[in-house]
């Protein structure tokens, strides 16, 4: 199924997987709404997409703030008419052991990784339901399938996204003709580790980069495109994408 002319909202579009997916979808003819908080990054990306002949709009949006999400979706609909594709991708992973009691970081992960997905989905769904068509792609993780030390809260948020994705598919697919895909990447080279405030945990992740070849953000963009382009009758419900060298 072609994504030519489709309107896509991408959260977490200012860097990493979101930015790479924005470029990929725009290059394949989608009109993309780029949502994140760093407006300067979004402006750069819009200009890059437009220079390549694509269409994009910057949506300065905090997924935790419902009013900000509603305003962003309204701006996108005003510009491009509707929303056909939602890529719920904004997230953070400030890893630390639970006994360090970094409660602010726990709450932030719950707010962005879970509530952010709920806020954005709620703002977009009426447009998809109204047209009886749509595709929602949620970024979960290998951490949405397994639990790792130092990642308890992050894993809890990503397990929630895996569960939510399946529930959304069950409730939205047949009834509203909305496909749902849950993407579960292993280690991807992005800015995700910049959020880690515990020096030992940060060192551990930096060491990991010297031990194996990470996936590139473009690899996940390619995966998202594959799911979106699958035939109308086919829903790629779950995709687990790993670096070949990540054997755990």
Interface residues with ligand NDP (CB under 6 A) are: 11-18, 36-38, 41, 61-64, 89-93, 112, 116, 139, 141, 185, 187-188, 190-192, 217
Whose tokens are 């070949």? That residue is 244
Shortest distance, position 22 Cβ to ligand NDP, whole Å: 10
Q: Which residues contact 44 (CB under 8 A, 6 or more apart)?
A: none
d(C-alpha 100, C-alpha 28), whole Å: 45
d(C-alpha 136, C-alpha 123), whole Å: 12
Nearest Cα residue to 15 out of 210, 213, 192, 221:
192
Shortest distance, position 36 Cβ to ligand NDP, whole Å: 4
Shortest distance, position 11 Cβ to ligand NDP, whole Å: 6
Q: Which is nearer to ligand NDP, 128 or 182 (CB)?
A: 182
Provide the sign of the torsion angle of the four alpha carbons 239, 242, 244, 248, taken in this order: negative
Are the C-beta atoms of 50 and 74 separated by less than 8 Å? no
Angle in degrees, CA 107, 39, 225, rounded to 5: 80
d(C-alpha 74, C-alpha 92), whole Å: 25
Q: Which is nearer to ligand NDP, 40 or 78 (CB)?
A: 40
Angle in degrees, CA 143, 90, 197, rounded to 5: 70
Q: Which is nearer to ligand NDP, 60 or 177 (CB)?
A: 60
Q: Which one of 76, 154, 162, 192 is the catalytic residue?
A: 154
Shortest distance, position 139 Cβ to ligand NDP, whole Å: 4
Helix axes 217-229 and 16-27, enclosed angle (nearest 10): 50
Shortest distance, position 243 Cβ to ligand NDP, whole Å: 9
* Residue 154 annotated as catalytic: yes
Q: Which is nearer to ligand NDP, 50 or 194 (CB)?
A: 194
d(C-alpha 68, C-alpha 42), whole Å: 16
d(C-alpha 90, C-alpha 38), whole Å: 12
Shortest distance, position 147 Cβ to ligand NDP, whole Å: 14
Q: Which is nearer to ligand NDP, 15 or 28 (CB)?
A: 15
Q: Which is nearer to ligand NDP, 89 or 223 (CB)?
A: 89
Whose tokens are 């992005």? That residue is 190
Q: Supply the residues annotated as catalytic.
A: 154
């Amino acid at each position: 199924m072609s994504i030519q002319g489709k309107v896509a909202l991408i959260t977490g579009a200012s860097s990493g997987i979101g930015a790479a997916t924005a470029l990929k979808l725009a290059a394949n003819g989608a009109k993309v709404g780029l949502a994140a908080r760093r407006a300067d990054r979004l402006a750069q990306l819009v200009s890059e997409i437009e220079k390549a002949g694509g269409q994009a709009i910057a949506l300065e949006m905090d997924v935790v703030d419902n009013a900000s999400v509603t305003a962003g979706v309204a701006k996108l609909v005003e510009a491009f008419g509707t929303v056909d594709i939602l890529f719920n991708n904004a997230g953070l992973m400030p890893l630390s052991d639970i006994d360090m009691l970094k409660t602010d970081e726990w709450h932030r992960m719950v707010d962005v990784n879970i509530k952010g997905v709920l806020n954005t989905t709620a703002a977009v769904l009426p447009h998809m339901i109204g047209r009886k068509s749509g595709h929602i792609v949620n970024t979960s993780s290998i951490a949405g399938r397994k639990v790792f030390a130092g990642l308890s809260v992050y894993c809890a948020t990503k397990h929630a996204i895996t569960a939510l994705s399946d529930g959304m598919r069950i409730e939205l697919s047949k009834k509203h003709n909305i496909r749902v895909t849950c993407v579960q990447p292993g280690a991807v080279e992005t800015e995700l580790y910049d959020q880690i405030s515990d020096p030992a945990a940060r060192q551990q992740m930096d060491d990991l980069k010297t031990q194996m070849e990470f996936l590139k953000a473009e690899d996940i963009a390619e995966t998202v495109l594959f799911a979106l382009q699958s035939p109308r009758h086919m829903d790629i419900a779950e995709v687990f994408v790993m670096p070949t060298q990540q054997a755990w």
